[in-house]
Structures are given as C-alpha cells and as structure tokens.
Amino acid sequence: MRSKKDWMSLKTRLGQLFIAPYNGREVNGEIVTLINHYRIGGIFLTKEALQKEKQITTMTEKLQQYATVEHPLIISIDQNTLETALPTLPSIKEFRQGTNRLFVEQFAEATGQSLRELGINTIFYPSIDIDGNFPGRETLEHYKKFGTHLVKGLQKSDVVACLVNYPNKEQIDLHLRSDRKSSNVYPFYEILQKEAEMLQISTYSAPDINLYIRKHLSYDGLIVYDLRKEHDKTTITASFIRELLEAGVDLFLLPEGFNRQLNLLNELFEMINTIKEDIINKSFKKVTHLKTTYHFSLLEQQKKLTPYQQERLINRVKNSLT
C-alpha cells in the first residue's frame, strides 16, 4: 500500500499529463486550483483569453509562478488562436512552391521568439491538411518540405511544434510503408523522425494507436489526445483515458469548462490505483524531458533576433503570401 507521500507524488505525475483549455483574460481561482491542487501539466489558451501583448505576458508569467520551477507549464495555442496581438502563422498551403526554405525557417524562428516573449512555449502547428487518400507525391513533398523547416525554425526559439491533422485510420494504407513518398502519412513520418516532438490525434481508439501510429510511423515520441469535443459521461471518459494511457498516449487536452475538467480529474484520481504506475511514469518522464529540453522554466529567453529582425522577417512572409 502506498504512503500518503507516494500517493501525492503519483497524483502529481498523473496531473502533469493534462492540458486544460482556458478562456480567461487573467488568472482566476479556477485555473489556480487546476495548477496547485491537480498539478496539471499545461494550459491551452483560447482566442477569448488573448487580447493584447501586455495582458498575455502578465497572465503567462503569473501562471508559471503558480506552477513553480519544478513543474513549469506547457502554455500552448493553435493556429486558430492567433489574433492581432500575436504573430500570424500561415498554413503550409499558402507557401508557394518556389519559396526559399531557409527564409521559411528564419520566419518561423522570428515568430517563435515573439511567442516565447509572450510566455507561449508550445503551438499545435503545423497542420498537414492533406485532402483525400491519395493527394499526390508533389503535394506530400510540399507538406514535408515546408513542415520540416517551420518546425526547425520554431525549435530554434525553444517553441515546441505539435503536428496536427493526422489522417484517420480509414485513410491509411498499412500495406504502404510510411516512408514511401506515395503514402499520405509520409510528411508526418519525415517531420516526426527528424524534427517534431509531438503529434496530436483525436479519433483513434486505444487498440488502434499502437498499430496505426507507434508501429506504422515507427514513432516513439509524445502523443497528445484531443478530448475537447468529448461529451460522454465523466466515468466513461475517465475509463477511456485510462485505456489510452495504456495504449501509449502521453498527454491529454481536456474538455472545455472548469466543472467538466474538475469532475474528470477527480474521477481519474479516484481510479489512480487501477492505472499501472510504470505507464504514468513513462509518460511523465517524456513530458518532463520536453519541458527541460525547451527550457520551459525560464521566463526570459536568450534573444537570437532583434525586434527589428523579427518584424522584418514576419512582414516579408506576409507580403509574399498576398
């Protein structure tokens, strides 16, 4: 039987595997409760939470202060969150075929530095928006090429890029190797093998994750499961999360709404003894390694580009897309 100290430690490790969507424009008691009591590992900032640069910076600094240096937060956004207060990231489709790849990488680095200055360290981007089961080699190569350089640029500014829009299993041909240029998971395979640290999924059942992702992609990195559209009863969702953990998922984007998040976390902590500790530890170590590698505990990052260089690069990309 675990001691109270050991149980609290396990509870902290489990809590670190959850990212809570948050739409508040300042730090309130609800988000502090999730950080201090449930030890969640991250925050996903929605459009409603982001107004002006000073407001965003103040809020992210306070959030990290509540989290402490030992367990810094993943503070994340996605491409749809970006508003006037934040630098815009174009979709891969918007880049022309002849665009210089080094230029794209420098642009992503400048954008990443701007995000880190606001306290944002993770972005669910780029989206590999492949249409249909057989989009064509040229399209797949385009996504691979620009996706790779966008991720590399963000990494240079200590911003984690999480690939999104992975095909559902009906769109994947398991007989076609993922490293073949005609496979629609080819861009994911190439970017994940060489650059990206995280992959987001949302439609897979626990039994399919090992077959379609771990084995087919030869991928052992972080998998994030998006539960934001999950509407099942709390007990059913909690059991589903336990199955996903055992299948190899490492992080979870919680459903929106404080009460829903609270009830779900309480249910999970109630069943904590039914989850294998080594499974929790494996995912916890991955998350901790990510936070350490990208210096999440440092509020002030070393600036590799001057504000003038950042603005110039970002504006050049905007102009090239119009």
Handedness of CA 47, 19, 164, 195 (dihedral sign): positive
pLDDT averaged over the chain? 87
What does the pLDDT read at residue 4? 46
The per-residue DSSP string of 92-152 comes to GGGS-TT--HHHHHHHHHHHHHHHHHTT--EEE--B----SS---HHHHHHHHHHHHHHHH
Q: How far apart are CA 165 and CA 31, in angstroms?
A: 28
What average pLDDT does range 12-39 have in this prediction? 95
Q: Residue 317: pLDDT band by 50, 70, 90 thresholds?
A: low
Domains assigned to the chain: 4-321 (3.20.20.300)
Task: Give the pairing of strands 42-45 and 74-78.
Answer: parallel
The tens digit of pLDDT for each residue in 97-120 reads: 777 888 889 999 999 999 999 999
The tens digit of pLDDT for each residue in 201-210 reads: 998 999 999 9
Higher-pLDDT residue of 47 and 290 is 290
pTM: predicted TM-score of the whole model, two decimal places: 0.89
DSSP state of 26: S
pLDDT at 45 over 80: yes
The alpha carbon of residue 116 and the mean position of all alpha carbons in its chain are separated, in whole angstroms, by: 15
What does the pLDDT read at residue 134? 60
Q: Which amino acid is at 44?
A: F
Task: Provide the token pair at 48.
Answer: 């409603």
pLDDT > 70 fraction of the chain, expressed in percent and rounded: 86
pLDDT at 302 over 80: no
What does the pLDDT read at residue 305? 52
User: Helices 277-293 & 4-15, crossing angle to 10 degrees?
Assistant: 60
Q: How far apart are CA 51 and CA 46, in angstroms?
A: 10
